[in-house]
A and B are shown apart, each in its own frame.
Chain A
Amino acid sequence: MKKLDLIITGVGGQGVILASDIIGETAIAAGYDVKKTDTLGMAQRGGSVISNLRIGSEVYSPLIKEGEADILLAFEKLEAVRWAYYLMPQGTAIVNNHARPPLSVGSGNTRYPTDSEVMDILKQQTDSVYFVNGTGRAREMGNIRMLNTYILGCISVFLPFDVPAWEKSIAAFLPPKLKENNIGAFNQGRKEVQSARL
């Protein structure tokens, strides 16, 4: 593997940074060099959050260059569009089909993009766009926080790490009593992602 650059994005509080941490640890366990850099501070307060995660044999810059991310993983649709310019042509975009309209949309000053606009924008960059119903599935499973492991299951299909390695790193980040359900969510995401391709 030459390199894998991942942009992981969403809204503060959705678990973007945790997901990025778990992927990072999984990559390290597989023997790769890893650098990652996250938005902290001001942007945590419900703002747009972006994590740059770079995996390779030796990584220099912690920041990914625009247009060179292999995978864009978005926990929220507007954030997928906002950071789409980081994705390389024909990279992979995995988007949680969930809208969190910013306040300015509620007050009528701006407009949230329609689903077809979101798809069109991403399709300009790549044919590999996956719209996954992570928030819905996590609600069905009874805990919105399982969105995180469901999404990890989705992205796991595109990364060169085996399932036991994922299970190990997920378990390391969660309290033992939550492990079983989250592994379940992970496996469901892993199973369902292919059918979510647009």
Chain B
Amino acid sequence: MIKLLSGNEALALGAYHSGVKVATAYPGTPSTEILEAIATHEDIYAEWSTNEKVAMEVALGAAYSGVRAMVSMKHVGLNVASDAFMAASMTGVNAGLVIVNADDPGIHSSQSEQDNRHYVKLAKVPMLEPADSQEAYELMSYAFAISEKFDTPVVVRTTTRISHSKSLVRLGNGQVEDVPRRRFEHNWQKYVLLPVCARLRHPVVEERILNLAEYAETFPLNKIIWNERQLGIVTSGVAYQYAREVFPKASLLKLGMTYPLPHRMLREFASRVDRLIVIEELDPFLEENIKSLDIQVTGKEFIPRIGELTVGIIEMAGRSAGLLADAPPRKSINIPLELPKRPPLLCPGCPHTGIFFVLNTIGKRSQPVKNKTDDPKKPDLIICGDIGCYTLASYPPLQSMDTTACMGASIGMALGMEKAGSTDNIVAVIGDSTFLHAGITGLVNAVYNQGKITVIILDNGTTAMTGHQEHPGTGISAQGKESGKVDLEQLVRGIGIRDVTMIDAFNVKALLKGVRGAISRPELSVIIVRGACPLNVPRHANPRVIDQEKCDLCNTCLRFGCSAIQKVDERIIIDTELCVGDACAVCEQLCPQQAIAPQSNTAGKVVK
């Protein structure tokens, strides 16, 4: 049977066919679809965990107890989970534990371009890397077998281009491996990491990685593809695909296990080619590890360490290194204007639009369209942002975010600014899923340390940016079943916040009043702004339209960045196919001329 699967779908199916019983994750591009895919199998347990650290701990507990478990996350998710990850290496696992880690070279949808291969060296655990969906599928059964044979967590590392590319997968017999449940062993010297036990474990970990290096010599997915001997290339992952396209005559050492490395295999390969190079994305991870074996090799001298590689980039690098002949210059296209960029935007009907318009207004971050002055006031509101769709409010015209670092950082940073004596008003803005992920502890800290900041929780009832995953506030599980539900209002009141306001995300007046009030009061306050993500609103009734006779082109409706509102040929119109209508109506509230009305009210009039 042949299927066109994304790398993520193939990993999930590979894990399922390997008899995985527990799968956990927190959504994060480009890893999200792994859990989504495996959660469709009702005979296993799959959960969205509160965050990656919890996901790692749940999976580790499952493995300790005797069943195969998988946890998946994006690269920065492993930062969050690193404490549990390091512990998992120390204790070992009992039944197999596979950690799928998806890096994001090119920063398609992340806050950093970190190369997580360094983590496996730190934790002294093995790492496997697929080069397409077929390998992603096949690697999983090896990963679980290695995990159990060597009593270690195994990292399967992908990148965006592997996770999100689709390629053909030939499924074997398509059967689920029957893996007998192991018994949990009561062994405190292994599983209780007191110093006295950890000292016993460390030599075990050191010996394990030596044994794994020996195993790597015969690992079936480490293979040499002999061709001409002038050039030998060590490569892995998607870079392997580019390497064989650019250098079809070179010999290749294609690594399916990129840590620890097969020393003898590398030495043999190096000794039989005239020139040895490494083609890898991001850091010179393979290159430095190969150099440490006293093997002469180059790579990052001419291959970029920033961004994704492509066939074109490797060709250019190959020419600069004298590995390829110069190509005739390509005819370039002359484009006579600067093309308008099209960055991702808050969708029409987004519940974040109104609140950020209000923050922009209160903070004097852009001038009113009418009464423009030459001497604009300086912004006097600091807005500490967080990670989610709402980070897009940084773009013009909303321009209402001053900081975004990592999940949950808004609250701690806002408190830090206050404690540093900042004289500006300070708000933290954080989404519901992000608040539950890593914002709660920051808020507890603000209660404890008597902060006076205002924390705005944007509750759209979903994890929107990664494609609408459930979370502890929705009451629905990853497998679509009714589950426990955390009430955000009760939660913040429960940790001791007295000043709590709930506001409808589409009521601009209430938002203005609520935010003004909260920042003027000298105590810690929380505003929960509630409104559904428009992509989850099934029917879009009554799109708004602009009465062109009333419209005086003041441009106010263009100030909050609704992409349904467009200025075309000196007229402002609303694209009724994009407008969500009654579910939003923010523009109608803001129009000074009251020129915006529901389409149903305007029958017979000249509109649009």
Contact = CB atoms under 8 A, between A and B. Distances in A.
A103 B563 contact: yes
B29 interface: yes
A47 B343 contact: yes
Interface stretch (A30-38, A159-167, A179-187, A188-196): A30-38
Given A28-B168, A78-B340, A124-B334, A45 B346 contact: yes
A39 B241 contact: no
Contacts of A61: 238, 241-242, 245, 310-311
A105 interface: yes
Interface string B23-36: 00000011000000
B565 A106 contact: yes
Nearest to A36: B166
A106 B567 contact: yes
A117 interface: yes
Interface string A103-114: 111111011110
B342 A78 contact: yes
A158 B431 CA distance: 46
Interface string A55-70: 0000111110111000
Interface in B1-51: 2, 4, 29-30
A105 B340 contact: yes
Interface string A150-185: 000000000000000000000000000000000000
B344 A34 contact: no
Nearest to B162: A62
Given A34-B168, A103-B397, A103-B561, A63 B340 contact: no
A144 B161 CA distance: 31
Contact of B108 (A39, A46, A85, A89): A39
Interface in B332-348: 332-347
A33 B339 contact: no
Interface in B160-185: 161, 164-168
Given A45-B346, A67-B330, A125-B333, A24 B4 contact: yes
A148 interface: no
B466 interface: yes
Contacts of B330: 66-67
B4 A45 contact: no
A142 interface: no
Contact of B340 (A28, A38, A47, A104): A104
A91 interface: no
Given A40-B29, A85-B332, 8 more contacts: A11-B342, A28-B168, A45-B346, A60-B242, A89-B331, A103-B396, A107-B558, A121-B335
Interface of B: 2, 4, 29-30, 108-109, 132, 161, 164-168, 238, 241-242, 244-245, 310-312, 330-347, 389, 392, 396-397, 465-467, 555, 558, 561, 563, 565-568, 572, 577
